Amino acid sequence: MRIIRPIDMKALVLNSKDNVATAIKELGENTDVSVKIGEEWKEIRVKQPIPFNHKFAFKRILKGQEIIKFGECIGRATSDIEEGEHVHIHNVEAYDEAFDEGEDIGGIVMGSFESEKKLKVDNLLKILDECKPVDLSWTYYSGMTQIPVLPPPRISWWKKYPDFPIREWEEPSGFKVEKIEMATHCGTHVDAPSHCCKGYDDEVTCEGQWDIDEIPLEHLFGRAVIIDFSNIEKLHKVTKEETVNWEKTYNIRIREKDIVVFHFGWDKYFGDQSIFIKDYPSLSVEVAKYLIKRGVYGVGVDTPDIDGPGNEPLAHRSLFENNIYVIENLANLKDYANNTHFIIVSPIKIRPDMQRRGGAGGAPARVFMFA
């Protein structure tokens, strides 16, 4: 079976009736492109530069033939269009009956039923539909694995169905409602940059370092680089040299805005308190400084923390001082390591007191990716 990673896709065909593809990256002249048409793949070489979001023919279209996109006719060819040629207003005439007023938006002849926003959303959904969603989070439950210094999490039912009837309906109805009491750094969670503060201003404020509700949304999703160090020894600290060597081995360069995740295979011990919180590997401060230099948004691990058991939080502090957040206690990375994927990090947006300065230094999170 042919597999093309979403990160490598260059163009999309959104409906099996279409005769044009949409470029989701800028394509140079004579670029070879693979497009999926229904269940079949086809190789096309584009004949001219194709700007992002513009169309090109993936089969020959004769003069007068309809241009089909999204399964809809958007116009008629004004000249013969060969496979791989740019399809644009120079060779397409909009249908008056199909459009209120033809308008060129983003390189596509658009009408009242289309918009640039719709195109981008459809393109994104098409890409995600080709992916497998992967949950990287642990379920929260009473007595779950955690570091001993934190209070044990308690999650219970405040009301069960018979205890919470709402009104008399034809069918008996009730609601169940839970209550939660736990530290914000249990299970899969995000450490906000304000979690660890050197030279704090007051008891809950760290000037210049974001609280959990201040992390910009655009920093919480993007390209995940999953690095496999599951074969290293216990208590080992990953070095900059090892990280750079990994980049060279897998031809993946850590770049600006990445969310870099280290897979140590430690999640296999989650649930065993006697093992999980002891002797786990971690990151050296030199790796933290290297990631800062690369301009990453976040750093994740499948261990309790990034500095190792009982160590001074040097890696934490280095990242936090540059407003880089940390994700800890990740899960299910094994089958997706040594590759790049699209990740979404979703910490709960909390603040202890809206009336004063100083917010939360972390929060539980649902973290997932599309692989």
List pLDDT tens digits, range 80-93: 999 999 999 899 98
252-285: pLDDT as tens digits: 999 999 999 999 999 999 999 999 999 999 999 9
Q: 63-77, 98-112, 183-197: which range is least confident on average?
A: 98-112
- Per-residue H/E/C for the chain: CCCCCHHHCCEECCCCCCCEEEECCCECCCCEEEEEECCEEEEEECCCCECCCCEEECCCECCCCEEEECCEEEEEECCCECCCCEECCCCEECCCCCCCCCEEECCEEECCCCCHHHHHHHHHHHHHHCCCEEECCCCCCCCCCCCCCCCCCEEEEEECHHHCECCCCCCCCECCEEEEECCCCCCCEEECCCCCCCCCCCCCCCCCCCCHHHCCHHHCEEEEEEEECCCCCCCCEECHHHHHHHHHHHCCCCCCCCEEEEECCHHHHCCCHHHHCCCCCEECHHHHHHHHHHCCCEEEECCCCCCCCCCCCHHHHHHHCCCCEEEECCCCCHHHCCEEEEEEEEECCCCCCCCCCCCCCEEEEEEEEEC
pLDDT higher than 70, residue 115: no
pLDDT higher than 70, residue 49: yes
8 A C-beta contact, residue 37 and residue 16: yes
More confident residue, 109 or 49: 49
Mean pLDDT computed over 297-305: 97
8 A C-beta contact, residue 267 and residue 227: no
Sign of CA dihedral 120, 135, 349, 329: negative
More confident residue, 310 or 103: 310
For residue 99, what pLDDT is reported?
41
209-257: pLDDT as tens digits: 999 999 999 999 999 999 999 999 999 999 999 999 999 999 999 999 9
Residue 35, Cβ density class (10 Å: 0-12 exposed, 13-18 middle, ≥19 buried) = buried
pLDDT higher than 50, residue 98: no
Spans of all domains in the chain = 6-129, 189-370
Q: Of 333, 272, 327, which is closest to residue 304 (Cα–Cα)?
A: 327
For residue 170, what pLDDT is reported?
64
Cα–Cα dist 346/136, whole Å: 11
CATH T-level assignment (fold) for domain 189-370? Glucose Oxidase; domain 1 (3.50.30)
Phi, psi for 249 (deg, rounded to 5): -65, -45
Q: Which is it for strands 66-69 and 72-77: parallel, antiparallel or unpaired?
A: antiparallel
Phi, psi for 126 (deg, rounded to 5): -65, -45
pLDDT band at 366 (very low <50, low <70, confident <90, very high): very high
CATH code 3.40.50.2300 for 6-129 = no
Mean predicted lDDT score pLDDT of the chain: 88
Cα–Cα dist 257/221, whole Å: 9
State how far Cα 175 lies from the chain centre.
33
